[in-house]
A and B are shown apart, each in its own frame.
Chain A
Amino acid sequence: MTMIDEGPLRALLAEAADGLAVPEDAVERIASIASGDGPKADIVRTIVPRGRWGRVALVAAAIVVVAGGVTLIGGTPGTSQGHRTVAGPSAVAPGVTGAVPSTTVPLGSHNRLGNGGSTGSSSTPAGAGAPFAANAPAQSNPTVITPSVSPAPLPTGIIGQPAKVVTTGTIDLALGSDPVGPAVTRLTTIANGAGGFVAKSDVQVGPSSGTVPSSGTLVLQVPQAAFASVLTQVQSIAKVTSMSSTSTDVTSQYVDLQARINALQVSRQQYLTILGQATSIGDILAVQSQLDTIQSQIEQLQGQLNLLDSQTTYSTLTVSLSQSGHRPPPPPTPQSGVGRAWHQSVSGFTSGVEWLIRIAGRTLFVLLVLAVLAFVGRWAWRAWRRRML
């Protein structure tokens, strides 16, 4: 293989280099700059990458770090610092309601909703937490919203009059081995005490032997403003197995009925005037027929209006009572030492796995952030070293 000789190459390079004039004041200039140890801005320039992609990567890494920090500091959904989504009306005490289908409220705060929505409902199975079951003994979810003790007046609607809201609710109570009778009595007392009444009562009491469980259903009509307090008292009677509540804003329907009734009344008045001026039998009969039709319509609409009035004045709470009918299971026989240890071991293992799963998400995120930081740090360090040398 042909290669150039080292001797001539060395001589040629030395000859070419010797012909290069050295800048005269360069040495003094460098020495003077170095005596001040260089401008500080150069240090910053060595840190910040010069390439476009390098700077983009640096900015992206900074964004990731900041976002991660904010997420860590601010907490994640599901923690005590987070928010909980609650179906609108169920979290709202009557009198405050504006019936929005769903809203998000900070934990521990009262829900102040507008009145723009029309209908909302929530269904709360047993153990899943009752949004407004503050004092329910059987609720396991501690994140409940305490209903307003003194309900505020209904807010004025967008159409210029107080909102009309129809509130209904159902609640199922498990009495266990307790009899149904005292519960019915207590429910009646609660309804009467709140200014309401028991609209319907259907109680089936089993034989004294207890083989057939007793049950019953009561429909309570309570004033709208007392609905929350009644609900709270009802929850305190027995274990709540399920609960639901529905609020419907009927303000527009109410106003519409009023307007139609007013219009029909004006028409009736005009027909009455015409009737007073009629001379022929035919005219009188024709006007009378129209008057009858209008009167019928007015009464029909007035009935609907009265129904709405009643529904918005009194809330309906349907309470279902049920007796479990079975005796509580006997306490387990004491286990032997080995059996108890085995169960404790299994329980401990399960708890450990649950703990691992619980912290896996956050740990993974922290590891991801640390990996990004390590990558950026390594890259910055290598860039620093590369620029330094």
Chain B
Amino acid sequence: MGGKGGQEDIETWLAEGYVTSFRTACLILGNRSDAEEAVQEAFLRAWRFRKSLAPGSDVRPWLYRVVVNTCNSKLRSEIPHRDRRTADSELDRLAAPGDGPTDVEQSGDIVRALQSLPVHLRVVVVLRYYADLTEREIATAIGRRPGTVKSRLHEARRLLAMHPALRTLDNGAESHDSEVAE
């Protein structure tokens, strides 16, 4: 998915970006079926409006922007009206069934800690530490300035460190604002 503008082969897009996009949406939404719908909708929208991508622009942050916006739209308009118990059960299923007990527990912990974050912080964490976007690409994806992305990452890591499920990972590490900057 790292191709440049003008790449008009949706199968290439899907082959390069679907898995990462789907898992990114899963981590943002906390629900597999919502993530599947969101990513499908995002890819179709991006494909339909591919002409709006400026020539020479990188497809990846643009496609992530579509995915993030679709996820935000679902979180804003659809998911709040559902039964909360459904979301909790989906959270439990996010951990892979074949992993060992410790891994399952840790996977569940990080997912729960992630869900405890506000959406705007959750998005930047997932894009930065899972999708491996740079801060500038994240800024493009969420339509904010890189400085905003940096401060959100900072805030998100601080909140995650305070989450009870992740305190064992903290190892007492003391970081400062200057260390966060890339």
Interface residues of A (CB under 8 A from B): 1-6, 8-10, 12-23, 26-27, 29-31, 33-34, 37-38, 42-43, 50-51, 386-389
Closest chain B residue to A18 by CB distance?
Answer: B96
Flag B161-182 by CB within 8 Å of A: 1 or 0 each: 1100010011111111100100
**Are A20 and B94 within 8 A (Cβ)?**
yes
User: Helix, strand, loop or mixed for chain B's interface?
Assistant: helix
Q: Contacts of B14 on A, CB cut-off 8 Å?
A: 27, 30-31
CA distance A17 to B30 in the complex (A): 11
Interface members, chain B 50-89 (any A CB < 8 Å):
52, 62, 65-66, 69, 73, 77
30 inter-chain pairs at a CB distance below 8 angstroms, sorted by A residue, are A1-B174, A2-B158, A3-B173, A3-B175, A6-B129, A6-B157, A10-B129, A12-B107, A12-B110, A15-B99, A15-B106, A16-B94, A16-B106, A17-B130, A19-B94, A19-B96, A19-B97, A19-B98, A19-B99, A20-B96, A22-B23, A26-B36, A26-B40, A27-B18, A33-B40, A33-B44, A38-B44, A388-B45, A389-B62, A389-B69
Minimal Cβ-Cβ distance residue in B for A35? B10
**A16 to B111, Cβ gap below 8 A?**
yes
Contact between B173 and A26 (Cβ–Cβ < 8 Å)? no
Cβ-defined contact, B106 with A12, below 8 A: yes
Contact B44 A17 (CB under 8 A): no
* Contact in complex: B169, A12 (CB < 8 Å): yes
> Is the pair B94, A2 in contact by a Cβ cutoff of 8 Å?
no
For residue A255, give the distance in angstroms from its CB to the closest CB of chain B.
Answer: 74
Is the pair A17, B26 in contact by a Cβ cutoff of 8 Å? yes
* CB pair B32 A20 closer than 8 Å: yes
A182 to B15 alpha-carbon distance, docked (Å): 108
A13 to B47 CA separation, bound complex (whole angstroms): 28
Residues of B within 8 A of A388 (CB): 45, 49, 52, 66
Query: Could you tell me if B15 and A27 are in contact, using CB atoms closer than 8 angstroms?
Result: yes
Set of chain A residues within 8 Å of B106, measured between Cβ atoms: 12, 15-16
Tally B residues with Cβ within 8 Å of A.
64
Flag whether B119 is at the interface (Cβ < 8 A).
Answer: no
Residues on the B chain within 8 Å of A26, using CB = 18, 22, 36, 39-40
Q: A31-B14, A50-B77 are in contact. Are A20 and B23 (CB under 8 A)?
A: yes
**Looking at the complex, which one of B45, B126, B130, B161 makes contact with A2 (CB distance below 8 Å)?**
B161
Separation of A15 and B114 alpha carbons in the complex (Å): 14
Interface centre among A9, A10, A33, A389 (most CB of B within 10 A): A389
Report yes or no: B48 in contact with A37, Cβ–Cβ below 8 A: yes
Chain A hits for B166, CB < 8 A: 4
B15 cross-chain contacts in A, Cβ below 8 A: 27
Instruction: Report the Cα distance A329→B154, complex, angstroms.
Output: 91
Is B96 a contact of A23 with CB atoms below 8 Å? Answer: no
Report the nearest A residue to B111, measured CB to CB. Answer: A16
Q: Is B95 an interface residue (CB 8 A)?
A: yes
Q: Which residue of A lies closest to B40 (CB)?
A: A30
Residue of B nearest to A9 (CB): B129
Q: Give chain A residues whose Cβ lies under 8 Å from the Cβ of B154.
A: 3
Lowest 9 CB-CB distances: which A-B pairs, in order? A19-B96, A17-B23, A16-B107, A3-B157, A12-B110, A4-B161, A13-B130, A3-B175, A10-B129
Q: Are A1 and B22 in contact (CB under 8 A)?
A: no
User: In whole angstroms, how far apart are the Cα atoms of A230 and B171 in the complex?
Assistant: 113
- Per the bound structure, the CA–CA distance linking A43 and B169 in Å amounts to 47
- Residues of B near A19 (CB, < 8 A) are 94-99, 107
Residues of chain A within 8 A of B107, CB atoms compared = 12, 15-16, 19
Separation of A240 and B44 alpha carbons in the complex (Å): 80
